[in-house]
Amino acid sequence: MTSAATSLAGKVAIVTGGASGIGRAIAALFAHHGAQVTIVDLDEVRGPHACEEIIAQGGRAAFHAADVTSAQACAEVIERVARDCGALHLLCNNAGIIRRASVVELSEEEWDRVMAVNVKSAFLMCKHAVPLLARSGGGCIINTASGWGLAGGPRAAAYCASKGALVLLTKAMAIDHGPQNIRVNCICPGDTDTPMLRQEARELGEPSDAFLDAAARRPLQRVGQPAEIAQAALYLASDASSFVTGTALVVDGGGLAGTL
């Protein structure tokens, strides 16, 4: 059951990287609270399946396969939503990748790819979405950053740099677009039980169980679940946060509590 404060009834939402992990949980929760959701992802297997699950639960969802590092692809996503839905109220830039390496270990191509997926995609989606959000009367942009966008981490140079850039992009956009009634915030999750977290273990050559045990060493003594991060996104998307913009909301079980 939804409350009036968290209802997204009548809202149109886009979630990039919505085929799995945190993005999938956000898309499902937004739909549950009444939003019409478009999932944007490169994964043409899990993306449609995520939509089918939403529809089976009585929600409204569509899938659009797109590479959000492409300006043309981002423009086409926004054009399609404008054509099919007539408006846009919520944009979640959740697409992201990680490469666990120091600057010495990183190739130039790996650096460029992390920055393209994690930062450039948000820029491009926002560039094309903001005019439609403004024409729709305003709305919300939510960027998925990271705790490592606020504090550094080992062998994660490109990832930390990209997420730090996303935090400050969020703040700059909040200043620019507040007069258009567009709120811009970001979520900074801690380690969350997603396919990407397990990929980190493989990149570092560590057993998955041991890696997850280490990730759980925080005050709440566990890693997060995608549904918990989605609840933070729902708060930022809803009227419950109507006076919140330009913020970086840390959702990490206390992982950064002793560092910031």
Beta bridge partners of 184: 141
The full DSSP string for 82-97 is: HHHHS---EEEE----
Q: Is 61 helix (H, G, I), strand (E, B) or coil?
A: strand
Q: Is 208 left (phi over 0), alpha (psi -120 to 50) or beta?
A: alpha
Contact in structure between 155 and 101 (CB atoms under 8 Å): yes
Buried b (16+ CB within 10 A) or exposed e, 22-59: bbbbbbbbbbbbbbbbbbbbbbeebbbebbeebeeeeb
Alpha-carbon distance values, 22 to 76, 109, 132, 144 (Å):
24, 26, 25, 9
Q: What residue type is assigned to position 29 of the chain?
A: L
User: What residues act catalytically?
Assistant: 159
What is the CA angle 229-234-235, rounded to 5? 100
